[in-house]
Amino acid sequence: MLNHPDEQLLVRTRSVVSRVVGGETLVVPVRGKVGDLASIYSFNGVGSFIWQSLDEPTSLANLVTAVEHEYVVNQDQARSDVMRFVEDLLSVGLVHPCQSATVVAGEANIQREWVPSHSQ
């Protein structure tokens, strides 16, 4: 689904509500200002870690490295797990690729700008 999977920036959709409950992340899509309770998603610890990492645009390569270090697994296992999870998130519209992301560093602040590749 991704053109250059290691370089493509991904970000989670903003049209959801997510909360951590009992050690799991629950995600509810919001459609027309109402939660879609028929489509509740639940993520375990690793899924929750990836979900939190996708709050800002990030690449698949960065996700793999983060999971590899956080859970002390080898790169092949981390890559396989992250790719499968991200593909699932993409297929249900919880994550989408960004067309561009730029980081502009100033003396006192850093500004991040990104544009989703499709409407949310």
Encode pLDDT of 23-75 as tens digits.
899 998 887 655 555 678 999 999 999 999 999 999 999 999 999 999 989 99
Banded pLDDT at 87 (limits 50, 70, 90): very high
Q: Inform me whether the pLDDT recorded for 102 exceeds 70.
A: no
The answer to whether the beta carbons of residues 47 and 85 sit under 8 Å apart is yes
| Integer-rounded Cα radius of gyration of the chain | 15
Banded pLDDT at 105 (limits 50, 70, 90): very low
The answer to whether the beta carbons of residues 78 and 68 sit under 8 Å apart is yes
Q: Inform me whether the pLDDT recorded for 117 exceeds 80.
A: no
> Which helix (H) or strand (E) covers residue 108, if one does?
none
Q: Can you tell me the mean pLDDT for 93-111? A: 56
If we measure between CA atoms, which residue out of 101, 102, 103, 96 comes closest to residue 119? 96
The domains located in the chain, with CATH, are 9-116 (3.90.930)
**Average pLDDT score over the chain:** 78
Mapped onto helix, strand or coil, the DSSP state of residue 78 is helix
